[in-house]
Amino acid sequence: MWDNHRALGALANVLLWISVLMLLFAGGFYLVHSPLFPVRKINIQGQMQRVTPVQLRYIAEHELSGTFFTLDINQTRAAFGKLPWVRESQVRRRWPDQLDITVIEHQALARWGENGLVGTDGQWFDAASDQSLPVLFGPQGTEGEMAQALARFRSLLRPSGLKPARLWMNERRAWRVELDNGVLLELGRGNVDERIQRFAKNWNTTMSTLPYRVDSVDLRYPNGYAVKMPDYKAPAAK
């Protein structure tokens, strides 16, 4: 082989190209990781009412690392997602030295018992709020189902002028609703929407006109309902 000049020339060419490629790779690696391409500006946008500039600045200063090329986009999204009211963050690079970050906040729909909130998208999130919100009580994992039910119940109750204040759903999918006037509705399982419609239809014309305080209404009867009135006393028998 060492006497074969053609083979030696071919080997030399291969080694030369390998050397050139290694130099290019090393040069590219150095440029990508060098301080010549820092992230100089972070532009944060979005309609934010709960997320504060202080929180955003802390994340930008303490959680983000790397150059314009090496900064991990997924890790950056996750860093901003740690903030309690952040539902989603969108991150993209803008040449030559800028990051554009769009922050989307949760919109609170209700409280989830004593632990966290449920957003309008049915997602549970861990945050505090001073808003006056309805409260949902249900099995873990049913946040989305109960959020949808809350929206339906609000719509169905509109003719009565009342709103749901607390909702309960147990493991057997039986429902109870406490209204904003304190009246408790026993809805049970199945035909729940129909039972709420029946209540809304009769509240203003019948139940609210009774001369006694209504404590609860049991709507689990197929063709009617039972009204509990603690102040009511049956007439004495003659």
Q: Which of 110, 158, 163 is nearest to 138 (CA)?
A: 110
234 vs 115, higher pLDDT: 115
Identify the pLDDT of residue 24.
47
pTM of the model: 0.78
State pLDDT tens for residues 172-203.
Answer: 999 999 999 999 999 999 899 999 999 999 99
C-alpha–C-alpha distance, residues 153 and 177, integer Å: 9
C-alpha–C-alpha distance, residues 34 and 75, integer Å: 20
Identify the pLDDT of residue 10.
63
Identify the pLDDT of residue 56.
87
Identify the pLDDT of residue 211.
87
C-alpha–C-alpha distance, residues 127 and 110, integer Å: 12
C-alpha–C-alpha distance, residues 36 and 14, integer Å: 32
Identify the pLDDT of residue 64.
82
Q: Per-domain residue ranges for the chain? A: 41-105, 108-228
Residue 142 has pLDDT above 80, yes or no: yes
Identify the pLDDT of residue 21.
59
Residue 31 has pLDDT above 50, yes or no: no
Identify the pLDDT of residue 234.
60
Residue 66 has pLDDT above 70, yes or no: yes
C-alpha–C-alpha distance, residues 138 and 172, integer Å: 10
Query: Which percentage of the chain shows pLDDT scores above 70?
Result: 82
Instruction: Classify strands 117-119 and 226-228 as parallel, antiparallel or unpaired.
Output: unpaired
Identify the pLDDT of residue 26.
46
Residues 6+ apart with CB under 8 A from 157: 163, 164, 179, 196, 199, 200
Residue 73 has pLDDT above 80, yes or no: yes
Residue 145 confidence class, pLDDT cut points 50, 70, 90: very high
Identify the pLDDT of residue 143.
96
CATH fold of 108-228, please? Rossmann fold (3.40.50)
Q: Which of 62, 67, 80 is nearest to 28 (CA)?
A: 67
For domain 41-105, give the CATH number.
Answer: 3.10.20.310
State pLDDT tens for residues 7-27.
Answer: 656 655 666 666 655 654 444
Q: Where are the alpha helices (DSSP H) in the chain?
A: 5-33, 53-62, 73-81, 143-157, 192-203
DSSP bridge pairs for 103 = 89
Identify the pLDDT of residue 210.
87
C-alpha–C-alpha distance, residues 151 and 156, integer Å: 9
24 vs 227, higher pLDDT: 227
